[in-house]
Amino acid sequence: SIASMDMGLLLRDDVFVDFFNTFLNLPVFGQTPIYISDMGRWYLWPELPSHLDPSPAALLAWLEKHRLPHFCKSSLCLHLVLCQRLLGFIRSGEAAELLNWQSADQWLLERCISGSHGMQHFRAFVQGTAGEELVDFWLITERLLGLDESDGSQRDLFLSLVHRLRATHLREGSSVITLCTTIIGSLPKAKHIQSISTRREILSKMQEQALFMIQSYWLPKFFMHCKMGMEEEESCQLLLQEYQEHLSQASWQKPQGLSEPFPTMHIKRSQGVSGPYCSPKAKAEIWALVKEGRDTQELKMATFQVKPERQSGPAGNTEELYLDKDALGLISQQSEHPANTAFGGKRGATFPGRPQSSAEQNLENLCKEKIFSDLLSSASLAQLPSLKKPVKTLDFLPWALSAEACAGQPFRDFLQCQNRSMETHLLDLWHDLEEFLPVVLDSSRENRFFLRHLIGEKICKTYLEEDSTERLPLETRTLVGLWNSLICGEFSPWIFRAQKEICKLLCCLYEEFLAEDDRMFLQFMAPGSDVPMPKVPGHAAGRWEHFHLSQRMNQSLKLSQALHGTRSLEGISSKHWQLLGARDLQKGGSIQAEMKLLL
């Protein structure tokens, strides 16, 4: 239903705008705009040359054709749908009667759960409980029921999701089976195609039951958790004060509809931007900031230790720059969780048990490189590094591919349109390895044992067996190293080696993808103007602008990965309450709230 709606109507929903902004700023794309709904203003990046007068209608048409279809295939869209279902229940008379909620209670809970940050907070709250399993089951089933298994292009994904359900949520003793005992007995075997309609009907009923349990049991618990947490956070006091005022007015009702008319939608005109439009060069400038910032840090490589984040004051008062250990999603989960003992000792760099060969030493260095591919999380403007060294696409390709999995896989679609079957196969392997890492390294993850064996065996069967469709153009020792560990469902540093080799093979094609994305954007935004594709950037943005943009994309990626499952959810901390106090869906929502805290 989202894919078939008019983009202008979709943008009138602040919750949709929040999820869509998060999606649009994922660093896989060329053009990464953001929409501020209370002003009706679009900010483009990269900006168009200043002599052009871009039309909002043309921008909406481009979004509808070249962004919305990918959004509808993303995990962000699934979370949007779940968020809408939860909000529908919160606003209903059924919820007020069942849970004795007043209008003020409904208003506050909406504020807490709306948007991508709200859903991340809710998922962090239910983490490690039966609620986590119910939410995960609902999301997988929602995706599965939206697929057509008779369509060859969707069949592999359909069967993969069915196998995942059977290995986790449909096994004996799971919370889902316990909840749905009355209907699970008639669930047909996944391999029996003749029972498609029956299986879909049963899964749909189970999904409804899981959703009702989430709504009627876990939402009230989340509401109490939010009220208690907000009382202890200074930045939430204004929100609580407003809640108490509403609560004291027995007749207060949440305003229905919009109290003010929508502002006229417009695009912020570029200021003095001359020369041609080129997103790859603009992305390289952003990544240069990241890379230079990383290179200027004092890294204690011998101990393989990431410094803890330092609490700093407002920008300009920070005495020293520290790494953001979560930045860009390139950091491996082993640096954040107990499972990092896979590297030996207390985050030590040594692989225990036997002497290291030169190949193992190279792999160790590769792990270090991956872990320290970080972005500055707090820095004074005066201390931002200069952009001196040229950056190649290969430097930021892992960043882009990490985002690609969360963005509905637009690069994969491009490869398929180019009939690049081997490169598509390689990209699929890259993503499957990325999915495997947090499962095997995070010991607290739900169904970890079943999932790591399921994913490991799937990778071996699909890509590494001798009778697989095509032999992968990776080094033999890399393929052997992957097989030896993944067939047992175990972590291996060969995963990083394989991903690095895949990036080298896909680099040129990703540059073609960005060039094509630019061409499509200019066809809509500057028809007939024949804007040239440059070899050098026509506009050199300031260091502060680069820093702001890199942080915006960073926050988008962190949020998307947490909801997608390729990054482990952070535990509840004071940051969640600070974000709740700072978040305004009409002023940039979730990713802008992160920037408010940073600045």
Domain annotation covers residue 50: yes
Domain annotation covers residue 53: yes
How many folded domains does the chain comprise?
Answer: 1
Domain annotation covers residue 25: yes
Taking the C-alpha atoms of residue 516 and residue 69, their distance in angstroms, rounded to an integer, is 17
SS3 per-residue string spanning 296-343? CCCCCHHHCCCCCCCCCCCCCCCCCCEEECCHHHCCCHHHCCHHHHHH
Tell me, what's the pLDDT at 272? 65
127 is in which domain, residue-wise?
Answer: 2-183+200-247+266-276+538-566+575-597
pLDDT less than 70: residues of the chain: 182-197, 250-252, 254-260, 272-275, 290-391, 467-470, 528-542, 597-599
Contact predicate 440/108, CB 8 Å: no
- 376: buried, middle or exposed (CB in 10 Å: 19+, 13-18, 0-12)? buried
Taking the C-alpha atoms of residue 254 and residue 193, their distance in angstroms, rounded to an integer, is 49
Q: Residue 492's CB: how many other CB atoms inside 10 A?
A: 21
Domain annotation covers residue 56: yes
Tell me, what's the pLDDT at 313? 35
Residue owning tokens 């069949």: 155
Domain annotation covers residue 122: yes
The two beta strands, 266-267 and 322-324, are: unpaired
Tell me, what's the pLDDT at 262? 82
SS3 per-residue string spanning 453-478? HHHHHHHHHHHHCCCCCCCCCCCHHH
The pLDDT tens digits for 87-142 are 999 999 888 888 888 889 999 999 999 999 999 999 999 999 999 999 999 999 99
Domain annotation covers residue 374: no
Tell me, what's the pLDDT at 183? 61
Tell me, what's the pLDDT at 226? 93
Tokens of 543: 């260091």
Strand, coil or helix: 225 = helix
Domain annotation covers residue 83: yes
Domain annotation covers residue 226: yes
